[in-house]
Amino acid sequence: MIRFLLVALMLIISEHVCAQSADKVNPDNPPQFLGGMNNYRKYVGDNLNWTQSQLTVEGKVYVEFVVEKDGGISESKVIKGLCKSCDDEALRLIKDMPKWSPGTIRGKPKRWRMVLPIEFKL
């Protein structure tokens, strides 16, 4: 009898937990480059300008920026660079990006701080 009650109690508890989990919808959505990360990589590939002095440099420049509530980009800065000319080019790419789909928290647009790499590869 005790086993039966324990099993019944466990079923009731697990059913309640599963019902709560199904009701919850993730309300937080990070910003998205329009068309996704494949379009981001295409944008970088199509718009990256290397000068003669950069042709011997390979690596990644990491740029931090804020996606504003309207999808615009602000507060961009290099947080890990390669050389001055590569860093400047990475910043130019980020600043010239088209607007993103803004991120939301609980369904409301919010500012999001992002870090993305710009790869310089021969």
Q: Which pTM does this prediction carry? A: 0.73
> pLDDT digit string (tens) for 35-66?
999 999 999 989 988 765 556 788 999 999 99
Q: What is the pLDDT of residue 58?
A: 86
Q: What is the pLDDT of residue 57?
A: 80
Is pLDDT at 89 greater than 70 in this prediction? Answer: yes
pLDDT band of residue 91 (cuts 50, 70, 90) is: very high
User: Is the pLDDT higher at 27 or at 62?
Assistant: 62
Helix (H) or strand (E) holding 99: none
| 25-37 core/surface letters (b: 16 or more CB in 10 A; e: else) | eeeeeebbbeeee
The average pLDDT across 26-31 equals: 82
The average pLDDT across 25-33 equals: 81
Least confident range of 18-27, 56-65, 93-102: 18-27
CA 74 from centre of chain: 15
Rounded to an integer, what distance in angstroms lies between the CA atom of residue 43 and that of residue 66?
18
